[in-house]
Amino acid sequence: MGVALAPKPVAAFARPSPAARITTSRRMPTLSLGPVRPSGLPAIVAAESEEEGGAELGLYGVVGTFASIVCFVSEFTLKTTGCGLPAGPFGLYGAVEGVSYLAIVGIIGASLFTKLKTGRGLPNGPFGLLGLAEGLAYLAAVAGIVVAGLTVVDFGDLPNAVPIEGGRCS
């Protein structure tokens, strides 16, 4: 008396493994298994859908890139003159400079949060704009630290955020 075992399903009819396709929330990219690496482990490839915030990510990328450029100009001005950007008409230049530094901090914070949560940085966004903004934000932060140190060495201190009467940047 033998016990008959059911045959294993043929691969063509077997259900795909749960890891074959992982979908996340509407705001997150869809992940799927890509080609197999030489190590034998599959590579996870992020496929970004145009419907999933493509225009929004592009806008964040453009604003972040603009903010980084403003920070680079501000840091160059600080290094060469010892002062930040002038206030400009109605304080507009100074306001844009301040908001740009806040945007850089926000981009880096979002990048670190995403990195800790998903193991990856921010998505590239359309045309790689958000990825560009992320990279420039980190570069602007490192350049800012370097320029601040060089300003202390060259001028003895950092200028005040609001220039004071009779001060170096008044």
Q: What is the DSSP string of the chain?
A: --PPPPPPPPTTTSPPPGGGEE---TTSPEEEEEEEPTTSPEEEEEE--TTTTHHHHHHHHHHHHHHHHHHHHHHHHHHHHSS-----GGGHHHHHHHHHHHHHHHHHHHHHHHHHHHSS-----GGGHHHHHHHHHHHHHHHHHHHHHHHHHHHSSPPPSS--TTSTT-
Picking from 72, 147, 70, 56, the residue whose alpha carbon sits closest to that of residue 110 is 56
Query: For residue 154, what pLDDT is reported?
Result: 84
- Please report the pLDDT score of residue 94 as a whole number: 87
Against a cut of 0.75, is the pTM above it? Answer: no
Which pLDDT score is estimated for 116? 92
pLDDT of the residue at 14: 53
Q: What is the mean pLDDT of each run of 10 residues along the chain (170 residues)?
A: 56 53 51 51 42 76 94 92 85 91 94 91 88 94 93 82 70
Predicted confidence at residue 146, as pLDDT, reads 94
> What pLDDT score does 46 carry?
44
Q: Distance between CA atoms of 121 and 130, rounded to whole angstroms?
A: 10
